[in-house]
């Protein structure tokens, strides 16, 4: 066993420098595509029914859903600047009404919230002598959000009405780039994404105010030119 260990260690010592030198950093333009999971965070929702002159405060929970998108940018070596188009989605799982300190859980919630984000990102690459490059950074931009009609068993009409709004968005995160060769690399990344307050249904019977926040993990392929 000891001899085998020594042989493996010697082989690794001889092989690692060769592998590392096979895929040096390539500067210039690149594109990437990614897919993963989005885990929306619980959010507080304020709604107002103009027909009954009644306001509501809810706590909404979501099921995990899809996180998909692509980027195009330029690698300067130490820093990368890129534009990103991505879509994140959350299916409403539970809604809890908050009334005077009392909570009432509404049943069979059926609704969706989606965010099509257009971001400008900056990432710092922590280059080293291995094939794996850690990075960190973030970005700002806008999110075109869509809220569907949302129903619960307790009411015959939707408690949130379908509408769209575009709001400020930001994200921060980190990841690992694994070089496959000089042009292709595998990207494993995490992003925390959030928006400012969105208002839906301002010109309808029911207005709904909420923020979208999510933890997002994705795997992608980056192609350098």
What pLDDT shows up at residue 7? 43
pLDDT in tens, 67-110: 999 999 999 989 999 999 999 999 999 999 987 678 889 989 99
Q: pLDDT class for 6, splitting at 50, 70, 90? A: very low
**Percent of the chain whose predicted confidence (pLDDT) is above 70:** 88
209 token code pair: 């105010």
State the Cα–Cα distance between residues 82 and 122, nearest whole angstrom.
7
What pLDDT shows up at residue 25? 64
List Cβ<8 Å contacts ≥24 apart for 82-86.
82/30, 82/120, 82/121, 82/122, 82/123, 83/118, 83/119, 83/120, 83/121, 84/117, 84/118, 84/119, 84/120, 84/121, 84/139, 84/141, 85/116, 85/117, 85/118, 85/119, 86/34, 86/116, 86/117, 86/119
- Residues β-bridged to residue 185: 179, 222
**Percent of the chain whose predicted confidence (pLDDT) is above 90:** 72
Q: Spell out the domains of the chain, with CATH numbers in brackets.
A: 26-224 (2.40.160.20)
Q: Is the pLDDT of residue 20 over 70?
A: no
Give the count of alpha carbons within 13 A of 155, CB side only: 14
Q: 212, 43 in Cβ contact below 8 A? A: yes
The model's pTM is: 0.84
Q: pLDDT class for 4, splitting at 50, 70, 90? A: very low
Residue 17: DSSP 8-state: H
């Amino acid at each position: 066993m000891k001899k085998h260990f020594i042989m493996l260690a010697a082989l690794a010592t001889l092989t690692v420098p060769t592998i590392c030198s096979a895929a040096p950093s390539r500067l210039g333009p690149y594109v990437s595509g990614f897919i993963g999971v989005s885990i929306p965070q619980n959010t507080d929702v304020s709604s107002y029914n103009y027909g009954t002159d009644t306001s509501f405060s809810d706590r909404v929970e979501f099921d995990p859903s899809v996180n998909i998108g692509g980027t195009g940018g330029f690698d300067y070596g130490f820093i990368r600047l890129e534009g990103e188009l991505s879509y994140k989605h959350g299916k409403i799982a539970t809604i809890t009404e908050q009334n005077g300190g009392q909570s009432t859980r509404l049943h069979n919630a059926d609704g969706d919230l989606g965010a099509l984000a257009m971001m400008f990102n900056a990432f710092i690459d922590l280059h080293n002598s291995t094939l794996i490059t850690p990075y960190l950074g973030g970005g700002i931009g806008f999110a075109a959000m869509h809220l569907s009609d949302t129903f619960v068993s307790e009411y015959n009409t939707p408690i949130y009405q379908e509408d769209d709004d575009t709001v400020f968005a930001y994200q921060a995160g980190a990841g690992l780039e694994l070089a496959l060769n000089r042009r292709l690399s595998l990207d494993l990344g995490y992003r925390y994404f959030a928006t400012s307050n969105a208002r839906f249904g301002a010109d309808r019977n029911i207005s709904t105010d909420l923020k979208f926040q999510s933890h997002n993990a994705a795997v992608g392929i980056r192609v350098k030119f």
